[in-house]
Amino acid sequence: MYPGATCALTHRSPWELLVATILSAQCTDKRVNMVTPGLFAKYPTPADFAAVRPEALAQDIRSTGFFNNKAKSIVGAARRVVSAFGGAVPKTMEEMLTIPGAARKTANVVLGTAYGIAAGVVVDTHVSRIAQRLDLTQNTDAVKAEQDLIKIIPPEHWISFSHQIILHGRALCVARNPRCAECGLNDLCYAADKTV
The contacts of residue 48 (CB under 8 Å, 6+ apart) are 42, 78
* Cα–Cα nearest to 119, from 127, 110, 128: 110
Kindly state the DSSP code that residue 58 receives in the 8-state scheme.
H
Determine if residue 77 is left, alpha or beta; phi over 0 gives left, psi from -120 to 50 gives alpha, anything else beta: alpha
Q: Are 119 and 93 in contact (CB under 8 A)?
A: yes
193 as an active site residue: the answer is: no
Q: Is 124 a catalytic residue?
A: yes
Query: Looking at this protein, which amino acid is placed at residue 50?
Result: A
**Residue 182 Ramachandran class (φ > 0 left, ψ -120 to 50 alpha, else beta):** alpha
87: DSSP letter: T
**3-state secondary structure at position 181:** helix
- Identified catalytic residue from 124, 141, 151, 194: 124
Catalytic residue among 30, 42, 91, 105: 105
SS3 assignment, position 34? helix
Show which residues are catalytic: 105, 124
